[in-house]
Amino acid sequence: MSDMEFMEEAYKLAKKSFDQGGLPIGSVLVRDGKIIGSGHNQRVQKGDPIAHGEMDCIRNAGRQKTYKDTTIYTTLSPCMMCSGTIVQFGISRVVIGENRNFGGNEEFLESRGVQVDILDHPKCIELMERLKAEKPALWAEDIGE
């Protein structure tokens, strides 16, 4: 599968979260061309402030001997907590659906040796813009405003 195909899988998870009333952020973890973990933001659904999409994905991948040979796909640029987790576990590559609505940790990731690729995926951008327009209070809560 290509980066766009893996991002499409992450997008489906983001849409699932949005349809459940949550934040539209989805993520998949890939090794050797296969998805080994997937998840989506569940802060609203579970009332859990750290149930971000990337955290849910890594949790669902379960314990791994190493993460150094994995790529994580996320529909939105990861926050500092998720970026720190990516660095902590040695995930070598992050593919970001979009960073127009939220970004800023790409430089941190790169400074720690993580390869960062941004796809500017139109559906990821559109879904996050829809959340911001329809639920501005939820968006403000998520980004800590």
Nearest 5 degrees, angle CA 56-CA 16-CA 89?
A: 20
Task: Examine the residue annotation and report whether 5 is marked as an active-site residue of this protein.
Answer: no
Catalytic residue among 5, 8, 9, 54: 54
Helices (H), the chain: 3-19, 43-46, 53-61, 80-89, 106-111, 122-134, 136-142
Helices (H), 20-79: 43-46, 53-61
Which of 98, 118, 128 has its CA nearest to residue 15? Answer: 128
Q: How far is CA 78 from CA 9, 56, 94, 96, in A?
A: 17, 13, 9, 8
Alpha carbons 81 and 144: distance in angstroms, whole number: 13
Which residues are part of the catalytic machinery? 54
